[in-house]
A and B are shown apart, each in its own frame.
Chain A
Amino acid sequence: MKTATALLTLLSVAIAASTVTDQQLRDAQADAASWLTYGKNYQGWRYSPLAEINTTTVSRLAPRWIYQTGAAGSNETTPLVFGGMMYITRPSNNADALDLLTGKQIWHYHKDPPAGLNLCCGQPNRGFAALGDKLFKVNIEATLVALDARTGALLWERQIADYKKGFTATGAPLVVKNKVLVGIAGAEFGTRGFIDAYDAETGERAWRFYTVAAKGEPGGDTWAGDSWQRGGGSTWITGTYDPDLNLIYWGTGNPGPGMDGDVRAGDNLYTCSLVAIDADTGKLKWHFQFTPHDTHDWDAVADPVLIDLNIKGQAVKAVVQADRNGYFYALDRTNGKFLLASPYTRVNWASGIGADGRPLVVPRMEPSETGTKVCPGLGGGHNWSATAYNLDTKLFYFGTADGCEVFFRTKQEFREGQWYQASTDTALPGEPQTGAVVAVDPATGETRWRYQMLTQHTAGMLATGGGLVFTGDGEGYFTALDARTGKPLWNFQAGGGLGAPAITYNLNGRQQIAVAAGSSIITFQLMNGK
């Protein structure tokens, strides 16, 4: 009888653990054993208090298992971990459930991408979202699918937008209450960006927020003529959520066409901005534009990370972002008010940021027919790769690309479904871009340390209670840095470049680290006991 009760109790625990509730997502930070949402918690910290792997023990960190997908393409997934399973997405509409103990594939999802895709940047996918017994992911042809987490079976699929017009989808969805939020890519094809919310149960669309203001709408006067119709403003990286304010924070991409600003005179709202949206209605609460009238492809899509800061003695609910334009920003997340900005890399297009948060733009930095040298380059000082905030050190970590590029411009006519960037960029001969991992004090914008790398940083960040920052490089090194000094303490050559952030969780009481590298997923734990 006692045994039966115990078994039933165990069973119910196991069943509960294989689903994810709205409350669990709100409390995700307290659940160190799992990884339930893209940014670890709704605030996007990518910080786990787990400390078994720490500055002393990390020298004993070694692979536990390797899952080889055998697939081509950039592996950019943030795995989700719960209920004894790891859920990963892969390029070109693939996904797997892996046994957490062994890495064995339990189920596989695949859908053939259609012919005739208009792609800016390959077919990556950055991960699942979870709610109840469902998993949600986007497919490259701009659809959103719901899968049964236990079997991988397709429950529903919704077309988000028309891929023939240049729309694609690559980001991890964000679940808020009973809705699944997704962004879209395609600004290089003269599309008009948006953020969508879908009912998690039925897949019906609940709301859409357009990131490009139409004529007659507030902000519509920041676009010349009908240029807003091709205005870009992609939303290809996952946003964050403040449950107390019930606001979604989501970064928006570059205006279109990227390099020719003459055809779209004005600030081009709400491109290159952070927008705060009511989670229930999709209505705009506030916006902040980092780069008005951008002509350098500086999407503001990097993680908007929610941190409560003390700035000059004032407690403030802040949202911070390492923007692609070369500046780190902190804003008041209740109202969008500018708090501070500071450059974290070489910048030559602006002499600073004004008290109102608007850049003090240096003249003649637009792309030109003969080429204009601008720093940072097209990929920006910091691109999309995931950032992290360590609750112990109170530092914000992100990767950089440091250097300049030459920007060109041509005149180009818009044709639906065709590449519409109006030229491009090239590297500066003899001046290759380098990279770094930087630790910034978000309350001051001051760079505390910089770990120099040979090439621009591509992987994301994971911060842990063990005083470590896990990251990697394009040459295949997975690395642990001392969170307080930036000193490299451990590395592992993974045999393939890293383009994704690591995660951490507990398995049978032992801390694990997992990361996508090359076409593999690798998990690590300490060898030779604790």
Chain B
Amino acid sequence: MNHSIAILLLVPVAAWAQTANNPPDPEAAAGGGAAFRPYCTPCHGVRGEGGRGPDLTRGVYSAGDKDADLFRTIANGVPGTEMPGFAADLRDEDIRRIVAFIRSIARHDVAGIPGDKAKGEKLFWDKGGCGACHVVGGRGGRMGPELTRIGPQRSPQYLRDAVLAPSKDILPGSATITVTRRDGTKLVGVERGYDNFSAQLMDVAGNYYSFLKSDVQSATRGTRSLMPDQYGRLFTPAEIDDLLAYLVSLRGAEAAR
């Protein structure tokens, strides 16, 4: 099914790509808002303000600014990210309406993040010790999520929550695994796999472990993050702003210095 729909989609996308961006169409945008709600709000927020997924009100899109780019992103997804393709679920005209809706909510007047990203970078590596668990540009620990291009991937508010209240939203596949061996010793790490019969995890030192549940006392998956929840106390509000300015600035290539 995915194959046949993907092939069908190639034609309208190609034809559409040759025209300039469509002028704003309020009716299409209203229809797009209805389709946006069930499919897009879980990650992009009810008003497109972002969350687990990017803020769409900024009028800046990492996969391209043309209507055809947005269409392609919605239809095919973005490989290597959590953005899936919706070609199997949505008709071409629905996707076009969603594009119109996204255009209609772009503000282009978004204030910058207060804070100094250079200071934030120093806080990240020194006082915060964030690099113990997070990679930026090839440097850092492997247990937590990589942050090399986290800026466009999450909304600023989501990043703020993630720093101050890390357990608020645990991404699928990133839960905390706790294994109690038969001898009573415990191992804790981030999920690398968890199913009805086995558990795989990586600890803070980057060691990888795999267990059959039948071989251990218990192997559980919890939604309390292993990331410390004390950054609100460790950092001053100004330092939090600096750190966020740094995180928001991480856009991939330039971070890999």
**Which A residues are closer than 8 A to B by beta carbons?**
72-73, 113, 115, 117, 119, 121-123, 369-371, 406, 408, 410, 418-419, 423-427, 429-430, 453-454, 473, 475, 477, 479, 488, 491, 493
Contact = CB atoms under 8 A, between A and B. Distances in A.
B4 A117 contact: yes
Contact of A475 (B37, B38, B89, B195): B195
Contacts of A408: 37-38
Contact of A473 (B5, B35, B39, B195): B195
A425 B39 CA distance: 9
Contacts of B1: 73, 117, 119, 121-123
A133 to B, nearest CB: 33
B34 A410 contact: yes
Interface in B22-65: 34-35, 37-39, 42
B209 interface: no
Contacts of A488: 197
B42 A418 contact: no
B91 interface: yes
Given A419-B91, A424-B89, A454 B196 contact: yes
Q: Which 9 A-B pairs have the closest CB atoms?
A: A475-B195, A122-B1, A408-B38, A119-B1, A410-B34, A424-B38, A426-B38, A453-B196, A491-B197
A112 B54 CA distance: 41
B194 interface: yes
B60 to A, nearest CB: 25
A121 B197 CA distance: 29
A121 B1 CA distance: 7
A475 B196 CA distance: 8
Interface of B: 1-5, 34-35, 37-39, 42, 89, 91, 169, 194-197, 223
Nearest to B37: A408
B83 to A, nearest CB: 16
24 contacts: A73-B1, A113-B4, A117-B4, A119-B1, A119-B4, A121-B1, A369-B37, A370-B37, A406-B38, A408-B37, A410-B34, A410-B35, A423-B34, A423-B38, A424-B39, A430-B169, A430-B223, A453-B196, A454-B195, A454-B196, A473-B195, A473-B196, A475-B195, A477-B196
A479 B197 CA distance: 10
Given A429-B42, A454-B194, A493-B197, 18 more contacts: A117-B1, A119-B4, A121-B1, A122-B1, A122-B2, A123-B1, A369-B34, A371-B37, A410-B34, A424-B39, A425-B38, A426-B42, A430-B169, A453-B196, A473-B195, A475-B195, A477-B195, A477-B197
Contacts of B194: 454
Contacts of B4: 113, 115, 117, 119
Contacts of A425: 38
B9 to A, nearest CB: 13
Nearest to B35: A410
Nearest to B46: A370
Contacts of A491: 196-197
Nearest to B52: A429
Contacts of B42: 426-427, 429
